[in-house]
Amino acid sequence: MAAEGRRSGPGGMLSPVRVCIVYDCLYPHTVGGAERWYRNVAERLAAAGHEVTYLTLRQWDRGERVDVKGVRVVTAGPRMALYVGGRRRIAPPLVFGAGVLWHLLRHGRRYDTVHSASFPYFSILAAGLARLIWRFELVVDWHEVWSRSYWREYLGAIGGPIGYTVQLLCARLPQRAFCFSELHARRLRAEGLRGEVTVLRGQYVAHAGASVGAHLSADHPDPLVVFAGRLIPEKRVTLGVAAVAAALPRLPGLRAVFYGDGPERERLEEAIAAHDLENVVSAPGFADAKLVDDDLGRALCMLLPSRREGYGKIVVEAAASGTPSVLTAEEDNAAVELIDEGVNGFVVPHADPQAIADAIVRVYEAGMQMRERTARWYEQNARVLSLESSLEVVIASYSRGPRRA
């Protein structure tokens, strides 16, 4: 029979949607912003009564039980090392793409919607092929859209143009597209996407019992700088260490903690030793979320010297506790869209340790007034920055898609 519009249930409620979420990582087996987003999306959809399948690579020991409440977890490939030297390997995306194609060719009739991350791309091409048979709705989250120059830098003179071409093919598939920043929405439109691009502003989940600006009762912010994220080259943690060293003469009590782990850990530790900051800067690796939240909540500022960010949720997490952020302006850094200059932080125009140190000192000199401004900024934007607001838009988009009778 011909496709028809999705029917509403009693009281105007949408009928349950059969959704397949496609991403090669699953939180907490791998840790990152996209991993958290898809875990949250899957759990929220399941809690709302939708039928959810999470299609991923296996990241756990064979035979181990993986429990995501209300969600059917299906593997589309074996356990594989995704990174080498901080860069994505080529083999896992190819294996995952083949596994996604095989799954959707066999089971595509089960789904009304296939909702996938754009990266690692081959899974999108697989979904596009399977869609020719089963006509499910394809929804794609474009966390980032890389430029030609960045592809060449990332994969070299041969691999770079190939990667860019694959991205281009994915962008031109029929789809409903979501981005998390205006930067990447503009790039996606420029790549030739046919149809609308919706920008989602919210990924933040407030912790139970948390209150905005919970640490504002202190007389002065703790002279602590906090970094939290994967230790990969793009995060430029060594630049952060150099900035702390440059700020220390003007802020003698300054301390810093760099939470996270990854291929740049050794370079981070070398930078701490080279600047003789062993008693000032610590690098404890990944830590309990409550410990990170507590440090972030009482810190002077959150430091993110990254050159590439698709969203920058850590900026929102910091602001929720009234903590300003210090970022660097780069052509691939979408996190700067979350900064209202001088209100909830500063964007440093150059990746220069002294310039970043100047911004840290400016936050210190602004004192509790800046923390109060940051808390107000979060309160005013809390709704649009919440995961729930984004999920409302995503679920509403499912209702507009075709559904087989």
Range picked from 204-213, 344-353, 392-401 for highest mean pLDDT: 344-353
Top-confidence residue, 214 or 308? 308
**Nearest residue to 344 (alpha-carbon basis) of 310, 365, 321, 361:** 321
Q: Where are the domains of the chain?
A: 4-205+387-403, 224-382
Predicted local confidence at residue 6, as pLDDT = 45
pLDDT of 215 reads 53
* Per-residue pLDDT tens over the stretch 3-39: 334 444 433 445 789 999 999 999 999 887 889 899 9
Q: What is the mean pLDDT of residues 257-286?
A: 96
The one-letter amino acid code at 403 reads R
Q: Which helix (H) or strand (E) holds 114?
A: strand 113-117
Return the residue matching tokens 């690692």. Answer: 120
Strands 87-88 and 83-84: antiparallel
Asked if 216 and 372 count as a contact pair (C-beta separation under 8 A), the reply is: yes
Asked if 402 and 143 touch (Cβ cutoff 8 Å), the reply is no
Dist CA 394 CA 44 (whole Å): 11
Specify the pLDDT at position 397: 86
**pLDDT attached to residue 127:** 97
Give the pLDDT confidence score for residue 218 in this predicted structure: 57
pLDDT at residue 12 in the model: 41
CATH superfamily, domain at 4-205+387-403: Glycogen Phosphorylase B; (3.40.50.2000)
**For residues 354-380, average pLDDT:** 96
pLDDT of residue 399: 63
pLDDT number for residue 212:
53
Overall average pLDDT of the 365-391 stretch: 95
Determine the pLDDT at residue 1.
34
Is the pLDDT reported for residue 41 higher than 50? yes
How high does pLDDT run on average in the chain? 90
CATH placement of domain 224-382? 3.40.50.2000
User: Cα–Cα distance between 91 and 311 in angstroms, integer?
Assistant: 27
CB 227, CB 264: distance < 8 Å: no
Locate the DSSP E strands across 57-95. 71-75, 83-84, 87-88
What sections of 214-337 are H helices per DSSP? 237-247, 265-274, 289-298, 313-319
Predicted pLDDT at 9: 43
Residue 298 φ/ψ, nearest 5 degrees:
-105, 0
Would you say residue 243 has pLDDT above 50? Answer: yes
Q: Is the confidence at residue 213, as pLDDT, over 80? A: no
* Percentage with pLDDT > 70 across the chain: 91
> Does 214 score more than 60 pLDDT?
no
- pLDDT-based confidence at 395, cuts 50/70/90? confident
- Are both 4-205+387-403 and 224-382 of the same fold? yes
Residues 124-147: pLDDT tens digits? 999 999 999 999 999 999 999 999
If one compares 394 and 221, the residue with the highest pLDDT of the two is 394
Question: How many angstroms separate the CA atoms of 137 and 94, rounded?
Answer: 23
Q: Which residues pair with 121 in a beta bridge?
A: none
Nearest to 328 by CA among 313, 344, 343, 308: 308
